[in-house]
Amino acid sequence: MSTSGTMTNAVLATWPPEVMEKRGEFRNTALTDFSKEENAQAMKAALDEVQSQFGKTYPLIIGGTEVMTEAKLPAYNPARPSEPIATFAKAGREEAEMAIEAAAATFETWKRTDPWARAELAWKGADLMTERRLELAAWMVFETSKSWVEADADVAEAIDFLDFYGREMVRYAAPQPLTPVPGEDNELRYIPIGPALVVPPWNFPLAILCGMTTAAWVAGNTVVLKPSSDSPAIGWQYFRILQDIGLPDGVVNFMPGAGASAGDYLVKHPKTRMIAFTGSMEVGLHINEEVAKTAEGQIWIKRTILEMGGKDAIVVDSEADLDAAAAGVCASAFGYQGQKCSACSRCIVVADVYDEFIDKLIPLVEKITVGPPENPDNYMGAVINEGAMNDHLAYIEIGKQEGRLLIGGQRDTEAGDGWFIQPTVFADVDPKARIAQEEIFGPVLAIIKARDFDHGLEIANDSIFGLPGSIYTRNGEKIKKGKDVFHVGNLYINRKCTGALVGGHPFGGFNMSGTDSKAGGGDYLFLFTQPKSISEKIE
């Protein structure tokens, strides 16, 4: 196992001592070392066990009751589209209404539970998820075509969210510092706000789903959870953990369904208090527009927590370690097939080292293996579905007109009959080109030449997005300028732009990348609560 960083942030050091006594010092969950034979064999066994469970049908769970529907939602393997994984009941408006009513009714009791008790449940969830981590990773290998390493990291992040947000709930529930007022006893409480609609993405089908949902219920809210239609099976596994740790019925209601019907209905519903969404800019902006309208019977201003897309850039300076930069760009661009909102899709290289950098990058890309991810030798699996594959291929054709194709450029039919695309790199791309401006969300990298470092930052900021970005340079003055000028929510220096760690890298973006909610940070639970000030006169 490899170890990750220890949480020593001054804000988080205010966790009450009893939390430290119970849970110890917070550490990011270490990644599994699959080069060890015992770990590799355990993962193979988990894959076999999960595959033996294929073909089952699963219900909605609303208020603790199983609900079957005539409409069904299939789950399948992107690497083998003909291979069914599971079938789920598919919610429509009727089931959505049932779910929000159950969440609203349960909120009246759940909101009054002891915050410590809710934190304890989160910690039980973290411990149980740790026990099941390889099984959970195996589900993602099949359902979302994640490599062993990417799937394991997804589970590790989910474990961290459960542990971290449990600690944070206790901190939020502790006495808050206020200015003393003579003759008064004053306090500030962070209280839950109401039923939440949680809409997670498929690309981090456990980590983000777990993070948003756990933050909502650990803060005392209830949830209607609508997992992505591309990853309901891993959403079910999270829900099963909630059942096993004893989360009361109705606190989280499991409701796979179509976004255009069930999801949209709940966004507009007067009893929906907030919406936590991670996904595309188009859907996020639609949600933002709809919640601005007041529905009949609505008694609150709905809150939104929106995390959307990115067109993330890595700037490579003339004074950079080019070997490190090439490795970082390759990992950022093609890890999980480029299907991360943090993936590098623009590489901006200063002219003095432009050709040398490309000469170092392309051999790394050539080594990338593509194929079904249950084989650990494959670095890249399939993209999530046929529609995504066709969209990426269309952008690749545009790229052939806008830049110089260096490698890749087509569907990888040799990898199998799944939705495989070759890792693709274009050079000499104009900063205003479509492949340099529009989010592709696949294994397509545009390399752009900059005159100098300042010009590189100018190009990097020329985007409607602002999620993560990276700078590679050994020059301290340039690093300082990058910190000041590069307008992104997460800036990395001399490292890749993917792989944010809970607690260490609170994650969220600027501009059209969302509300910069900083998941995994000390401010996140604030978004799921509302402060209540209480002042009592002392006789």
Could you give the residue ranges of the DSSP H alpha helices within 403-472? 434-437, 453-461
Q: How far apart are CA 325 and CA 316, in angstroms?
A: 7
310 is written with which tokens? Answer: 């990115």
Query: Residue 444, SS3?
Result: strand
Q: By the 8 A CB rule, do 534 and 487 touch?
A: no
347 belongs to the catalytic site: no
The active-site residue, picked from 210, 330, 341, 497, is 341
How big is the CA angle at 215 (ends 212 and 216), to the nearest 5 degrees? 90
Q: Which residue has the tokens 């087509």?
A: 410
Q: How far apart are CA 22 and CA 20, in angstroms?
A: 5
The active-site residue, picked from 95, 101, 307, 374, is 307
Could you give the residue ranges of the DSSP H alpha helices within 17-114? 17-23, 37-51, 93-110
Q: How far apart are CA 391 and CA 388, in angstroms?
A: 5
Distance from the first to the final alpha carbon of the chain:
60
Q: Which residue has the tokens 């909630």?
A: 242
344 belongs to the catalytic site: no
Q: How far apart are CA 539 and CA 537, in angstroms?
A: 6
512 is written with which tokens? Answer: 């059209």
400 is written with which tokens? Answer: 């052939």
Q: What is the CA radius of gyration of the chain?
A: 23
Q: Which residue has the tokens 């591309």?
A: 230
Largest separation between any pair of C-alpha atoms in the chain? 82
Q: How far apart are CA 99 and CA 199, in angstroms?
A: 14
Q: By the 8 A CB rule, do 343 and 311 touch?
A: no
- Let me know how long the chain is: 539
Could you give the residue ranges of the DSSP H alpha helices within 320-475? 322-334, 354-366, 386-402, 434-437, 453-461
User: Positive or negative CA dihedral for 235, 240, 245, 248?
Assistant: positive
Q: How far apart are CA 361 and CA 380, in angstroms?
A: 17
User: Positive or negative CA dihedral for 355, 357, 363, 366?
Assistant: negative
Which is nearest to 341 in space by CA: 469, 157, 159?
Answer: 469
Q: How far apart are CA 213 and CA 221, in angstroms?
A: 10
**Residue 20 Ramachandran class (φ > 0 left, ψ -120 to 50 alpha, else beta):** alpha
Please give the positions annotated as active site. Answer: 307, 341
